[in-house]
Amino acid sequence: MVDLSCEDVHKKYRIRKPADAAQTRARWIPRLWSRWPAGSEFWALRGVNFKVECGEALGIIGPNGAGKTTVLKLLSRITAPTKGRIRVRGRLAALIEVSAGFHNELTGRENIYLSGSILGMSRPEISRKLDSIVEFSGLREFLEVPVKRYSTGMYLRLGFAIAAHLEPDILLLDEVLAVGDLAFQAKCQERIAQLRQSGVTLVVISHDLGAVERLCDRVLLLQHGALIDDGRPKDVIARYVTLPIAQAGSGNWSSAGKPAACTGLSFRSGIHGRDAIRTGDPLIARVDYEARERVTGVTFNLLFWWQSGYLCAQLSTALDGAGITLEAGKGYVEFSCPTLAMQPGMYRVDASLARGSSVIDQHERCSILRVDPGKVVLGDFYMPHTWQLVPERLGVLG
Amino acid sequence: MHPSPLRLASSRPSPDDDRPEEVIGPPAFSGVNLLAGLFKLASYKDLIYTLTLVRLQVRYKQSILGWIWAVAQPLALMLAYTLIFSVLGRIPSEGVPYPAFTLAALLPWTVFSSSVNNATGGMVHFGYLLTKVYFPREIIPFTYVLAALFDFVVQLVVLIGILLYYHVHLTIRILYIIPVMFCVALFSAGIALLLSAWQVHFRDVGVAMPLSLQVWMLASPVVYPLRSVPAGLRRIYLLNPLAGLVENFRRAMIPGLALDWGLLAVSALLSAAGFLLCYAVFKHLDSTLADVI
Asked whether the predicted pLDDT for residue B5 surpasses 50, the reply is no
Kindly list the averaged pLDDT for each block of 10 residues, start to end, along chain A of length 398: 87 75 68 73 88 91 85 89 89 80 86 89 91 90 89 85 87 72 79 87 85 87 89 85 54 68 87 85 91 89 83 88 86 92 86 86 82 82 90 67
**How far apart (Å, rounded) are the C-alpha atoms in residues A365 and A350?**
5
- pLDDT recorded at residue B10: 39
Question: If pLDDT is split at 50, 70 and 90, which confidence band does B242 have?
Answer: very high
**Strands A57-61 and A201-205, bridge-based pairing:** parallel
| Least CB–CB distance from B12: residue in A13, A128, A198 | A198
Asked whether the predicted pLDDT for residue B237 surpasses 70, the reply is yes
Cβ neighbours of B2 in A, within 8 Å: 132, 135-136, 187
A201-214 burial code (b ≥16 CB/10 A, e <16): bbbbbbebbbbbbe
Cβ neighbours of A130 in B, within 8 Å: none
Q: Which of B17-31, B40-54, B71-85 bottoms out in mean pLDDT, i.e. has the lowest?
A: B17-31
- pLDDT recorded at residue B183: 96
**How far apart (Å, rounded) are the C-alpha atoms in residues A142 and B251?**
52
- pLDDT recorded at residue B110: 93
Cβ-contact B249, B107 below 8 angstroms: yes
- pLDDT recorded at residue B17: 57
Determine the average pLDDT of the residues in B262-287.
92
- pLDDT recorded at residue A18: 64
Asked whether the predicted pLDDT for residue B249 surpasses 90, the reply is yes
DSSP readout, A144-211? Answer: TSBGGGS-HHHHHHHHHHHHHT---SEEEEES-S--SSHHHHHHHHHHHHHHHHTT-EEEEE-S-HHH
Domains in chain A, start-ordered, CATH in brackets?
Answer: 1-91+207-243 (3.40.50.300), 249-371 (2.70.50.60)
Q: Which of A261-270, B81-90, B264-273 bottoms out in mean pLDDT, i.e. has the lowest?
A: B81-90
- pLDDT recorded at residue B7: 41
- pLDDT recorded at residue A263: 84
- pLDDT recorded at residue A178: 61
DSSP readout, chain B? Answer: -----PPPGGGSPPTT--PPEEEE-S----HHHHHHHHHHGGGGHHHHHHHHHHHHHHHTTT-SSTTHHHHHHHHHHHHHHIIIIIIIS----TTS-HHHHHHHHHHHHHHHHHHHHHHHHHHHHTHHHHTT--S-TTHHHHHHHHHHHHHHHHHHHHHHHHHHHTTPPP-GGGGGHHHHHHHHHHHHHHHHHHHHHHHHH-THHHHHHHHHHHHHHHTTTTSS-GGGS-HHHHHHHTTSHHHHHHHHHHHHHSTT----HHHHHHHHHHHHHHHHHHHHHHHHHGGGHHHH-
Dihedral sign (CA A66, A90, A100, B141): positive
Asked whether the predicted pLDDT for residue B25 surpasses 60, the reply is yes
CA B145 to chain centre: 4
Name the residue in chain A with its Cα closest to that of B134.
Answer: A78
**Strands A2-15 and A83-89, bridge-based pairing:** antiparallel
- pLDDT recorded at residue B73: 83
- pLDDT: which is higher, B16 or B58: B58
Q: Give the Å distances, CA to CA, from A200 to A93, B6, B13, B86.
A: 11, 12, 10, 69
Find the Cα–Cα–Cα–Cα dihedral A160, A166, A167, A170, rounded to 10°: -70
Helix (H) or strand (E) holding A303: strand A295-305
Residue A365 distance to chain B (closest CA, Å):
28
Asked whether the predicted pLDDT for residue B13 surpasses 70, the reply is no
* Domain-wise residue ranges, chain B: 67-292
Cβ neighbours of A194 in B, within 8 Å: 4, 6
Cβ-contact A372, A278 below 8 angstroms: yes
Cα angle A336, A340, A346; round to 5:
110
Q: Which of A1-5, A120-124, B9-13, B197-201 bottoms out in mean pLDDT, i.e. has the lowest?
A: B9-13
Residue A97 DSSP class: S
| Least CB–CB distance from B22: residue in A34, A88, A122 | A88
**How far apart (Å, rounded) are the C-alpha atoms in residues A347 and A309?**
10
Cα angle A33, A35, A36; round to 5:
115
DSSP readout, A305-357? Answer: E-TTS-EEEEEESGGGSSPEEEPSEEEEEEEEESS--BPSEEEEEEEEEEETT
A29 three-class SS: helix
Cβ neighbours of B19 in A, within 8 Å: 89-90, 169
Q: Which of B46-50, B66-70, B77-81, B116-120 bottoms out in mean pLDDT, i.e. has the lowest?
A: B66-70
A232 three-class SS: coil
Residue A188 distance to chain B (closest CA, Å):
12
φ, ψ for residue A60, nearest 5 deg? -120, 120
A197/B contact by beta carbon, under 8 A: yes
ipTM, two decimals: 0.79
Determine the average pLDDT of the residues in B278-285.
90
Name the residue in chain A with its Cα closest to that of B10.
Answer: A198
Residue A383 DSSP class: P
- pLDDT: which is higher, B216 or A377: B216
Task: Indicate the pTM of the whole model.
Answer: 0.77
| Least CB–CB distance from B290: residue in A78, A101, A123 | A78
What number of other Cβ atoms are within 10 A of residue A271's Cβ? Answer: 15
**How far apart (Å, rounded) are the C-alpha atoms in residues B267 and A122?**
37
